[in-house]
Structure 1
């Protein structure tokens, strides 16, 4: 992506807020970036999160969550599956997310997205948005503007499963 846009590491770093050293390590395959780093890169380059994961867009294909390579965050306690990668025609991407007990993930603002939808299907999710805290116990849902920092956490003993749709 950087080469296609003819950006230097310094220019990419300035756009994304990710250090040149980290960007170089990611490009060389020497580092596995966290979800937070990937969000910074996707936001700075104004591309979808799923584009960074290299997900494919196959039409009319049944998807088994177990067949998707997950991304781990929050010391392995947040497990994210990119089920339906961003598609410019639909304008959204869909994630299936598990939060193990003790998970705590701060999500940086998504400037390129318009709305985020959360549907909790198992357990209780604690979601902090600016000065508000939401307790979402399955079945529950919430829609919000993700242009501010927001935090997903599971301070409970039971696993949380939720669906996350990001509309661009």
Structure 2
């Protein structure tokens, strides 16, 4: 994977020239100093996420465009070829399909719970929300003191900074996906 920061300067410069904007005009639109914008264009400075957001918002371009993300970049993944992580005495089988990426801000897991599985997850203090989508079986989720019985197809969204438990008290396999947003 190439470092997206290596293209930011040339993309910023291209957008500025396409719109006939001076550094001062771009600075007024974005709230980023002329000096900083010039340094970014010359690749003398590596901007923070906060600065990138100001630039993309001020110039009204998508964050991914500013990073030079190729919207035609496809990646097909066979989940069966991913090495799973097994928890809870091997009864929770977790596939990290899309590991955390600071550009996307999330990670995606495909998870199987065998009969009798119970896994308690400690709070994710660095995340904001978790989205669980049950596609097979019945998942019993407990978040803090609330319990939810999710019969597929079903979904649950919750604040991930709370202790939560995934449980399969039934005699059939449960399959669900989890997206953790940071």
TM-score (norm 1): 0.65
Matches of 1:150 and 1:131, distance apart in 2: 9
Q: Give 1 or 2: higher helix fraction.
A: 2
Cα shift readout 1:114-157 (whole Å, capped 9, x = no counterpart) = 00000000000000111100000000001000111110000001
Corresponding residue to 1:94 among 83, 105, 108: 108
Q: Work out the number of aligned pairs and report it.
A: 110
Q: Which of 162, 173, 176 is equivalent to 1:148? A: 162
Q: Which position in structure 1 is the counterpart of 2:66?
A: none
What per-residue deviation string (whole Å, max 9, x for no partner) do you get for residues 101-125 of structure 1? 0000000000000000000000000
Partners of 1:85 and 1:126 in 2: CA distance = 25
CA distance in 2, matches of 1:131, 1:107: 14
* Correspondence list, 1:96-115, <5 A: 96-115=110-129
Any stretches of 5+ residues in structure 1 without a counterpart?
A: 1-58
Is structure 2 residue 102 aligned with structure 1 residue 74? no
Taking the TM superposition and a 5 Å limit, the aligned residue runs for 1:3-152 are: 60-152=74-166
Runs of 4+ off more than 2 Å:
none
Aligned partner of 1:29 in structure 2 is none
> Which structure has the greater CA radius of gyration?
2
Once the two structures are superposed, residues 3-41 of structure 1 have per-residue CA deviations (whole angstroms, 9 ceiling, x without a partner) of xxxxxxxxxxxxxxxxxxxxxxxxxxxxxxxxxxxxxxx
Distance in 1 separating the partners of 2:152 and 2:94 = 18
What is the CA-CA distance between 1:87 and the residue it aligns to? 1.0
Equivalent position SS for 1:135: strand
Query: Given the two structures, how large is their TM-score scaled by the length of structure 2?
Result: 0.60
